[in-house]
Every structure is written in C-alpha cells, then in structure tokens.
C-alpha cells in the first residue's frame, strides 16, 4: 500500500505548504505542484499500473478525495489571502479626513433679498399675492391718492426726488396700494416689496435708495384686531416666537387709526441696550386702518369695506436680523460681506 | 417740541416719574425721541459766597478765597481774576467729579492748600465756549444750596417727535390736556391773565384792516404802553432755554413763552415804527421787498401774505417779523399781534422762501382759532407783570366768521367693528368728553360729536375712531386674523425672476444690489457715442449731488464699480450678478419706462476650456447657455458685435428667436486697467422681460433609449475664421434624426497644423429608438457629414 502511503504524505505535505503560502502567486504555484497535470497526485495516479487491479479503485477514490480536499483547502486559503489583500488596500488608502473639501462654487444670495424672499413666503402662506409697481411714480399715486395733498405738512416726512412736475421717484411702496385698488375690487390681500427713494444724505443709517414692503388687506369687516394679529404673526415668523410686539399711536396720512409697531429688542430681548437706545423696543414698521378718504378716492365704499395697510423698511429688518450696523454695507457689495450669508 | 417735566407739572399735576412720563407720552402718540436730565454731571455743585480774598504769598496770579458753602468755610485757590468779596459762585468740593471727568482733590498750589475749586461756566458744561473767569451768580443765589436748583436744571427735557396731526401738542397746554384725557380725574391749570387796563381805548390808537380774510380768518391786536425793555425773569429764561429757545429780551421772550404755552404764535411790533398807525393784512405786491428779523432781504410775491402799515410791509404774516418794526432797547410801546393764518398759505410762503420759523411751523399745522385772543391777553398780562407795561384797554378782534364746530355722527357698532372691540356707547362718550369734544347722545347706538377748534386734525368719523382707539389703548385691543379667501401665490413673471436668481446662484454668481441713481461720470468709462440711447437718461430735478443725479440705463457701470472696489481690496476672483431695473424716457401714455435687466460679470475665473485665454468669457457664456436651457429656450445664438467698451474680437450679441436681447463680452484692456480689474474680465446683460415671451417651462417625459448608442469622434481641420457653430449646424443637418448628441471636445491651434488653420474635434452620438444601429448605417451618415463639411468649409478630416 505504498501509494496510499504516498497520498497520505502528499496530503500532509500539501496542508503544510498551503498553510504557509503567503501570496496568491505562491498558492498558484502550490496548485500546480500538487494538482497540476504534472503534479504530485497525477504522479501517484500514473503509478496505478504497478498495483493490483483490486487496489486501483481504492487508490483512485482516495486520490480524487484528496484532490477535492486540496481544492477546498486551496479555495479557502485563497479567500483568506484575498481578504488580507483587500484589507491591506483599504489600509493603504487611508486619508487625512481633516483636509478641507473641494470648493463648491454656488453663489450667495444678497441678505436683503433673502429677507425679502422670507417675508414674501410668510405672506403667501397667509393668502397674499405679490404686487409690483413702477419706481418712477406720479405725484398723484405717491401722495394725493394717499391723502397727502400738496402743501400738506405730511410731505415734510419724506424728502422727495422729483423728475418733473408730475413724476417723482416713489418715496414709499404705498402707491402700489393705489394701483392695486384701481385695478382690483375687494377682497384685496397683497404685499408689495420694492425699491424706494428719499433724498437723504448717505450715512450709516440713511440711504437715498432703499427697500420697503407694503401690505394691504381690504375686505368686509376687517378690523384693527386683524391688523394686530397679522403683524404679530409676521414679526414672530421673522424674529422668533418669543418676540413681543407693541402698537403705538402714530400718524400716516393714508391710515387711521395709525400705529407704529415696535418689537422687543433683538439683542437685549427688552432689557435695554445700545441698539434700542435702552428702551427695550425697536421700531420696525408703520401700519393702520386704511383711511376712508383713500378708499373713497379708489372708488371703494368705506361704509361697506374696511382694510389695513402696513409698510416696513426691508433694509432695517435685514440689518436687525443679521446684526448689520451700517446700511452702506448692503449696497457696497464687498465680497467678504456677501460671503457671510 | 421740547417739554420740561417741571414746567409741564405746573399745568397738570400728573402722578408720573420722569421715566414714566416718557413712556406715557410715547404711548399716547407723542413719540419721545430723547430724554435729557439738565443737571447731568453738575448735581453736586453747591453755591458758595466768597467772604474774603487774599493774595497768594508766592504767586502773583493766584488768589486765596475764603468761601462759605453754608455748612463750612473753605480755603480755595483760584487763578481767575473776576472774583470779588461777596460774589456768589459755583463750588466743586473735594470728591466731586466735573462733567469733563476731572475729580476734585485736595491740592497744594505753590505751597498753599486748596480745598475745592471755583468753576467757570464751560467747566460745568453750561457753555460751549471757554469762559474768561469764574461764573458769577446773581444776588438772589443762596449759599449752601445746589447750583442746579438755582439754575432750574434739576429738570428733565423730553424731545418730542410730533407727527403732523399733533399740532395741538406744540404747546404745553395741549400736552396737559392730553394727559388729563389719559388720567381722567384731574384738571388743567390755565395760566393767569388778569389785566389792569388803562382808560385809553385801543381802537383810538390803531386801525386794523384785513384785506384777505380767507388767508387771515382772525387777527387781533393790543397795545401795551410804557414797556421797559430788559432781560426777562430768570425762570422764564430757564424755561425758554429748556425748550430750545434763546432768551432775547422781556417782550420777545414773553411772546415766545406764550407761543410755548398756548401753541399760539405772537408777534410784537414797535408801535412807534408803524406808519399811519394802521395795520393792513394784505397780499404782498409783486416785487415788494422785506428785510426780516434774521437780517435777510426777501423779494415777495402776491401769493404771500404780509402785515403792512400804511406805507410798507412790516412783517411776513405768520412766518417772521420785519426788521423795520423790530423791538429794540428804545421801544416803549408795543403792538401785539395774535392771529390765525391759513395753514396752506403759510406753508407756501415758508417753503417758497425756504424760511421756516417756530411760528410758520405751528400755523402750517393749524392752531386753535378760538383761543387766539386769550393767548394775546396772556402775553399782555405778562408784559404788564414783567416788562412794566400798561395795557391799553380792549383788543381789536377782526374775526368775521366765528368758528362753527363740525358735527360728526358716530355709531357705536362701527367703532367696535373697525377696532375689533366691544365698548358701550357710554364708554365711547366718556372717552370723547375727556378729550374736550362736545357729545350728544342721538340714541343708544349713536353719538353726535362736536369738534373743538383746537382739534384741527379731526374732520370725520375715522378721526374720532382713532381717538377712541388711542385712549382705549392699542394694547387693550385683542388679536385676530382675517379669514383668507384667496390662495397666496406669485405671478408667473415673479416666479421666473426667482428662477433666474436661483439659476445664477447655482452657477456660482453672488447676487449684488446697487443704486439705481448714478452720475454722468459713471458712464464715461463706457466711451459711448453721443447719440447712444444709454445716454438718454432720466434726470432728477433736485438731486442730492451730481453723483446721484440720473437713473441708470444699464447695469454695466454698477457692476464695474463693484468689481473695481473688490479688486482694490485684493479680492481677485469675483463673480456677481444683479437683477435690477433700468430707466428710460419714453414716448406714449407713460413718459418714463422701466425694464428689468439681468447682468453678470466675472473676474479672475480659473479654467480656460479652449486655451484661448478667455476663461471669464466662456464661464459667463456657459452660465447663459445653462440658463437658457433651464428656461426651455432652444432658439438662441451668439453673433459677433461691437460695443465701445468691450473687446472687439471677444464680444457677441445674444439673440433669442431672432431678437437681440443682450450681449456678452470681455472688457477692453484699457477699461480693465483704469478700474484695476484682473485681465480678461467679462460681462453680460440681458433684457429679462424679452426672455419671458420665448421661454417654455413645460416639460414632458420622453422614453429612455433601449438600444445602444454608437459614438464617433471627428477631428476637422478648418480655416481659423470658420465658426464652430456653423460646423455644428451642418453636422446636425446631415446627421439627421439619428444624431442624438453632438459635442465639441477639443480645439487645437499650433505648431502641428498650419498657422491659418484650427482643428476642432467633435463627438457624435448616433442612436435609434427602435433598433440597434449597424456600423453601415452610422458610416453612411458620417460620410455624408464629411462630404458636406468638405464642400462647405473645405474641412479636412484629421486621422479618422
């Protein structure tokens, strides 16, 4: 039974060799040595002629068993080695994950526009549509139709750029109210953001060109309480749920009653600080019930309809929201400024 | 209007602390801009009497004063030479800090101990200019008391920012009445005006004729004789100063004092200077001249109202008196005017001349026509008391049409529904009564309200509802929201603007916002021909200055300025866009037109796809192409164009559907140098509204291809002048339906090919929807394409 003995030896030898193989190349060599056409098992089978016919099937069977077994061992070892290689590769490919990421080159929206957009979205959610109007306006739409006749002291409140005797650069977005009422019957529910002009010298808090947004609601049974509720909701959406509002009697020729709206200071939350001149309050918008004269001039019967209007400085709201202390920054467009938003 | 806390307290006994008063006024509609404590920083200064003066033993210029400060006598050394024995002076004792921060310590001056400091007015912050010596107080000062008590500076002053409808609160009594309405339980103390008149009657001394009663509905005159001009009493001067009015002399100060009390402007004329002893209120004659109290001469016109004597104008009615009838030290007889002038007339005169006075400011806002004479009588009383005057009996009162109060009917239901509250008719009545309205109850649901003359701001129901709201308290009105009956949304145009903005941001451009006002100089850099439509600008009639005198006709100068200011701050990679309007004079119904524009600029871009040294141009072109694709614009093209400030070889007009809607180009090197920009800076501008008509935002799904595509590359050698777009168009035409995609992926110009040639490499993708294309089919197309390109462009195929 030499051949069986041989097979046994081959098995032991192969097991040892496979266990020691440390690369896929080595493994392939071993496969050829043991299982190849000229391999050791083939060698044994080639000697079959030398043994008795009774023994041949036994040897044959044993040899095939050994082949299977070695193939399995080989396969298993191969897996093991592949695993090592894979792990090694992953190890080698380790990177410094603290290095900065590739620059993504999206542009930045202007802070004033972000705030405008945010305000538009809030009012769209409340059922408002967005209206626009020209910046070169008639004196009529900008003043007269808003109950500010010529030679009325209220014209002092706004220093106006005139183009000619009838046209001017609108001093507020309120003429959009007039245009909307001329075009549309109640119910009306609009917000009108846009560019406005006043002949103010430029300094940290004044600019001859700036932005406002106007709101107008006209329907049956609109009340001052509705105005308060709408403004309060808006203020909390922009400045946070914990922001308080205060309505203060004021005067605008086109609303009556009129109210100036203050919010609790965004910095000190009402404690008093430099921003709010130690009052705890910041003035952010003007509002009121639409003056019956304004409704009459627009052909709307004030006995049937009522409404409220409000106007706010978008620059001021942007500055408060982001803590910007100089309005000029909004129009200088310094990249280092723009990239902060 | 500046209001003194102490003075206001004389008219009504309110229970508020100085802090509370500020809040109450603000919440009542009289916004307090600023509160100032007048004694700030000097409340520890006491009054001392100099008992004795001695020369300093070792210094000629120093004096040793023995100063009695009531509780002690101090040795104080001073260098001032205006002190004398018996003088009453402000003393800063040891430990006191002066307004400029100086802390007084015990000091040794040339060997003599000094226990404090005698102060000059500027050291106390009481005068701007440097005073020449120690402040010497009047003999009525009491040693040992606080200086601020003597000077009336233990007081707060409220600077009110009054809106035009609060004209009635431009006087102390008006503010007192507001407080009474708020408090409800106390009365206003009206000033004293008991006059001991002479036997002589005023009608015998002067005649008054009002020629324009529409511009002067009421004119009253009184005469005060034997006045002695001198300083007004100290308390009056202090109150005027607190209110921001400079004391002049007793007569003038009294008119100003009553102005502040009653909100009634008054004017005192020197009666002896009135020619003909006649006052005529009339329109000025064309070209008539008047020198006013401020020493300015004005040429008048007939729309201005003057006060004249029988010869000449002696005052600009309601605005300012004339120099020719001014009160001087020699004045002995005063003609005192108290009148009501038409607000619009006063405003026209005052605006027309650019002359605004405390009087014109009040007349413009409307004063109390019913109270004109009472205010005049008050001033006469004060002149009797404080200028030694004798008031001539009676007053002339030209008041042809006495005030008829407007009557307004007010329904309780309307008040409640407009405010969203629930008051009873009685509650509303009480609020209005508190404000001095006369109120009748028409029925349980309706009031009839009469408006007093001082409420010039009230003429209709809404005005009364405002009063109710104000007194009820805005804070007490509940909060609700109107029911929404429509869907909130943006218009298509607004959505496209948003889409445009998002597209530009995604493409890497930062959004900028610039002024639409600019100056002619800003357009010089563009080097435009004189007849350029961009120079046909809308001008401001009254600009702030030349730099903001016109409205922009293009966004280009604005973008260039932003690039330049960034470049000058060492920021050298800038990509920006602006969505904004441009403005032009127009013909037609509207004389001016505004168009929305989109403009972008790129400076210092990296990556030069065609190796042509035009990274910014091709970046911006890519931005545009991507934007057009997003809008569903297919039919667009770029054509060479010349624009004065752009590079002639690197500028294109942008066409959409055969309409020119904008341009793109690289800036001329000179422009780049002038503005310190990076070389190759490029810019584009589009008329956004024109895009709107051509875009197509509809999208529908097309089935994905199920059969494989065949890709072929084609490198063509053509003359340099051949446009890539023309080659593309020919390839597309010949490629037909099966040519699914065509892309240029390489451009070569250089040594390996002739100098007048370029090589362009195209990648063609063929694909059919119903089968796998055979090589033969594809080859057939390619051959047809090659043939066409050879014939049309003399193109040679390289290494196919």
CA angle A207, B511, A134 (to 5 degrees): 55
Tens-digit pLDDT profile for residues B350-378? 988 999 999 999 999 999 999 999 999 99
Give the closest residue to B716 by CA, choosing from B773, B660, B762.
B762
Largest CA distance in chain B: 131
pLDDT average, residue stretch B722-738? 94
Q: Tell me what the pLDDT averaged over chain A comes to.
A: 92
Q: Which one of A106, A224, A228 has the shortest CB-CB distance to B506?
A: A106
CA distance A121 to B490: 10
Q: What does the pLDDT average to over B286-307?
A: 94
Q: What does the block give as tokens for B585?
A: 């004079």
Enumerate the residues of chain A whose CB falls inside 8 A of the CB of residue B26.
Answer: 248
d(CA B62, CA B54): 9
Q: Which two tokens stand for residue B741?
A: 């995609």
Collect all residues of chain A within an 8 Å Cβ-Cβ radius of residue B591.
164, 167
A9 contacts: CB under 8 Å, gap ≥ 6: none
Q: Who wins on pLDDT, A144 or B60? A: A144
Say if pTM beats, i.e. exceeds, 0.90.
no
Tell me the C-alpha distance between A214 and A175, whole Å: 9
Q: What is the mean pLDDT of residues B75-90?
A: 90
Question: Which one of A224, A233, A302 has the shortest CB-CB distance to B419?
Answer: A224
**Nearest CB to A338: which of B165, B510, B592?**
B510
B544: nearest CB among A201, A246, A256:
A201
Query: What is the reported pLDDT for B572?
Result: 85
Facing residues of B78 across strands?
B63
Q: How far apart are CA B665 and CA B645, in angstroms?
A: 9
Q: Is the pLDDT of residue A153 over 80?
A: no
Q: How many other C-beta atoms lie within 10 A of the C-beta of residue B93? A: 18
The per-residue pLDDT for B800 is 47
Tens digit of pLDDT for each residue in B537-571? Answer: 999 999 999 999 999 999 999 999 999 999 999 99
Chain B residues within an 8 Å CB radius of A113? 501, 511, 513
Between CA A323 and CA B517 the distance in angstroms is 26
Closest alpha carbon within chain A to B351 = A151
Spatial separation of the C-alpha atoms in residues B624 and B629, rounded to whole Å = 9
Q: Where residue B260 falls among pLDDT bands split at 50, 70, 90?
A: very high
Domains of chain B listed by start with CATH number: 2-38+155-183 (3.30.56.10), 46-150 (2.40.50.140), 202-398 (3.50.40.10), 407-476 (3.30.56.10), 492-694 (3.30.930.10), 710-798 (3.30.70.380)
B33: nearest CA partner in chain A: A277
CB contact at 8 A, A191 and A215: yes
Measured between CA atoms, the residue of chain A closest to residue B560 is: A333
Query: In chain B, which residues have their Cβ closer than 8 Å to the Cβ of A125?
Result: 488
Virtual torsion, Cα B193, B196, B199, B201, nearest 10 deg: -10
Interface with A, mutate which of B507, B511, B575, B585 (most A CBs under 10 A): B511
| Per-residue pLDDT, B364 | 93
CA distances from A110 to A329, B120, B145, B567 (A): 11, 55, 61, 19
Handedness of CA A66, A69, A75, A79 (dihedral sign): negative
Q: Which residue of B has its CA nearest to A193?
A: B494
* C-alpha angle A224-A226-A232 in degrees, rounded to nearest 5: 105
- A73-111 as b/e, with b when 16 or more CB fall inside 10 Å? bbeebbeebeeeeeeeeeeeeeeeeeeeeeeeeebbbbb
Say yes or no to pLDDT of A1 above 60: no
Q: Average model confidence (pLDDT) for chain B?
A: 93
Confidence of residue B512 (pLDDT cuts 50, 70, 90): very high
Beta carbons of B510 and A108 less than 8 Å apart? yes
By the 8 A CB rule, do A314 and A213 touch?
Answer: yes
Dist CA A172 CA A214 (whole Å): 8
Tokens of residue B669, six digits:
């090197």
3-state SS, one letter per residue, for B776-790: HHHHHHHHHHHHHHH
**pLDDT at residue B381 greater than cutoff 50:** yes
Q: What confidence category does residue B91 fall into, taking pLDDT thresholds of 50, 70 and 90? A: very high
Name the nearest CA neighbour of B324 among B285, B295, B346.
B295
- What letter would DSSP give residue B171? S
């Amino acid at each position: 039974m030499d051949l069986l003995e041989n097979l046994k030896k081959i098995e032991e030898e192969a097991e040892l060799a496979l266990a020691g193989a440390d690369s896929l190349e080595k493994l392939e060599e071993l496969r050829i040595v043991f299982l190849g056409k000229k391999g050791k098992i083939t060698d044994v089978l080639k000697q079959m002629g030398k043994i008795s016919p009774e023994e041949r099937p036994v040897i044959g069977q044993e040899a095939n068993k050994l082949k299977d077994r070695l193939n399995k061992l080989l396969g298993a070892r191969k897996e093991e080695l592949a695993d090592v290689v894979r792990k090694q590769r992953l190890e080698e490919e380790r990177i410094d994950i603290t290095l900065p990421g590739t620059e993504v080159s999206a542009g930045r929206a202007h802070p004033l526009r972000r705030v405008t957009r945010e305000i538009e979205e809030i009012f769209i959610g409340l059922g408002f549509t967005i209206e626009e109007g020209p910046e070169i306006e008639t004196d009529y739409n900008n003043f007269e139709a808003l109950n500010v006749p010529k030679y009325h002291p209220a014209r002092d409140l706004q220093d106006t750029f005139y183009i000619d005797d009838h046209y001017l650069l609108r001093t507020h977005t309120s003429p959009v109210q007039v245009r909307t009422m001329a075009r549309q019957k109640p119910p009306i529910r609009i917000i009108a953001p846009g560019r406005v002009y006043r002949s103010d010298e430029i300094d940290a808090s004044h600019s001859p060109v700036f932005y406002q947004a106007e709101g107008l609601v006209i329907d049956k049974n609109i009340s001052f309480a509705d105005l308060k509720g709408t403004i309060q909701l808006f203020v909390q959406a922009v400045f946070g749920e914990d922001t308080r509002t205060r309505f203060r009697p004021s005067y605008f020729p086109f609303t009556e009653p009129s109210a100036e709206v203050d919010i609790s200071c965004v910095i000190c939350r009402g404690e008093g600080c430099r921003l709010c001149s130690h009052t705890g309050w910041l003035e952010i918008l003007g509002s009121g019930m639409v003056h019956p004269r304004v409704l009459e001039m627009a052909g709307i019967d004030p006995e049937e309809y009522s409404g409220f209007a409000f106007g706010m400085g978008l620059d001021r709201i942007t500055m408060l929201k982001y803590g910007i202390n100089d309005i000029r920054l909004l129009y200088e467009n310094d990249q280092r400024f723009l990239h902060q938003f | 209007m500046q209001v003194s806390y102490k003075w206001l307290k004389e008219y009504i006994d309110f229970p508020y602390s100085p802090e509370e008063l500020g809040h109450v006024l603000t919440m009542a509609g009289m916004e307090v801009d600023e509160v100032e404590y007048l004694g700030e920083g000097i409340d520890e200064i006491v009054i001392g009497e100099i008992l004795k003066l001695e020369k300093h033993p070792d210094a000629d210029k120093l004096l040793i004063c023995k100063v009695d400060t009531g509780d002690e006598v101090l040795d104080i050394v001073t260098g001032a030479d205006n002190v004398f024995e018996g003088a009453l002076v402000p003393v800063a004792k040891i430990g006191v800090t002066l307004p400029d921060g100086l802390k007084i310590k015990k000091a040794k001056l040339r060997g003599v101990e000094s226990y404090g400091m005698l102060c000059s007015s500027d050291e106390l912050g009481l005068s701007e200019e440097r005073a020449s010596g120690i402040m010497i107080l009047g003999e009525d000062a009491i040693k040992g008391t606080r200086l601020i008590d003597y000077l009336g500076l233990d007081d707060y002053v409220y600077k009110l920012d009054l809106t035009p409808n609060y004209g009635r609160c431009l006087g102390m009594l008006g503010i007192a009445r507001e407080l009474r309405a708020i408090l409800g339980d106390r009365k206003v103390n009206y000033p004293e005006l008991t006059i001991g008149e002479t036997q002589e009657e005023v009608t015998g001394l002067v005649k008054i004729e009002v020629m324009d009663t529409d511009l002067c509905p009421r004119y009253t005159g009184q005469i005060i004789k034997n006045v002695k001009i001198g300083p007004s009493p100290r308390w009056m001067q202090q109150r005027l100063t607190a209110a921001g009015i400079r004391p002049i002399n007793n007569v003038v100060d009294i008119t100003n004092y009553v102005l502040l009390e009653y909100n009634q402007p008054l004017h005192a004329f020197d009666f002896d200077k009135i020619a003909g002893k006649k006052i005529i209120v009339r329109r000025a004659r064309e070209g008539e001249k008047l020198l006013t109290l401020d020493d300015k001469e004005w040429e008048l016109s007939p729309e201005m109202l003057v006060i004249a004597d029988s010869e000449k104008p002696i005052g600009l009615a309601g605005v300012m008196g004339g120099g020719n009838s001014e009160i001087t030290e020699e004045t002995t007889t005063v003609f005192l005017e108290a009148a009501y002038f038409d607000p619009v007339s006063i405003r026209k005169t005052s605006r027309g001349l650019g002359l605004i006075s405390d009087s014109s400011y009040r007349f413009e806002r409307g004063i109390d026509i019913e109270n004109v004479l009472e205010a005049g009588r008050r001033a006469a009383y004060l002149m009797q008391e404080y200028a030694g005057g004798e008031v001539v009996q009676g007053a002339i009162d030209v008041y042809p049409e006495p005030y008829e109060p407007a009557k307004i009917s007010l329904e309780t239901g309307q008040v409640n529904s407009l405010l969203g509250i629930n008051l009873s008719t009685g509650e509303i009545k009480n609020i209005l009564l508190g404000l001095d309205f006369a109120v009748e109850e028409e029925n349980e649901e309706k009031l009839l309200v009469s408006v007093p003359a001082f409420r010039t701001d009230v003429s209709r129901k809404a005005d009364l509802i405002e009063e109710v709201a104000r007194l009820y308290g805005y804070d007490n009105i509940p909060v609700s929201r109107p029911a929404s009956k429509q869907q909130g949304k943006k218009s298509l145009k607004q959505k496209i603007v948003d889409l445009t903005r998002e597209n530009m941001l995604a493409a890497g451009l930062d959004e900028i916002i610039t002024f639409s006002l600019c100056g002619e100089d800003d357009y010089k850099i563009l080097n435009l021909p004189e007849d350029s439509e961009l120079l046909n600008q809308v001008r401001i009639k009254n600009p702030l200055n030349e730099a903001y005198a016109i409205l922009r006709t293009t966004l280009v100068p604005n973008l260039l300025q932003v690039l330049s200011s960034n470049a000058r701050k060492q920021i050298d990679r800038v990509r920006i866009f602006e969505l904004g309007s441009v403005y032009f004079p127009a013909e037609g119904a509207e004389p001016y037109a505004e168009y929305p524009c989109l403009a972008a600029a790129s400076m210092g871009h990296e990556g030069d796809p065609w190796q042509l040294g035009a990274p910014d141009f091709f970046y911006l072109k890519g931005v545009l192409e991507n934007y057009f694709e997003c809008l569903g614009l297919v039919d667009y093209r770029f054509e060479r164009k010349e624009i004065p400030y752009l590079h002639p070889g690197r500028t294109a007009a942008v066409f959409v559907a055969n309409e020119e809607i904008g341009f793109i180009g690289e800036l001329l090197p000179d422009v780049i140098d002038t503005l310190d920009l990076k070389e190759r800076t490029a810019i584009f501008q589009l008329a956004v509204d024109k895009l709107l008509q051509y875009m197509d935002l509809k999208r529908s799904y097309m089935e994905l291809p199920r059969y494989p595509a065949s890709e072929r590359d084609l490198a063509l050698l053509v003359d340099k002048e051949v446009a890539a777009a023309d080659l593309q168009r020919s390839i597309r035409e010949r490629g037909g339906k099966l040519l699914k995609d065509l892309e240029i992926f390489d451009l070569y110009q250089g040594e390996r090919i002739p100098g007048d040639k370029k090589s362009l490499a195209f990648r063609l993708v063929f694909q059919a929807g119903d089968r796998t294309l055979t090589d033969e089919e594809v080859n057939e197309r390619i051959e047809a394409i090659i043939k066409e390109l050879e014939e049309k462009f003399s193109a040679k195929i390289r290494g196919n």
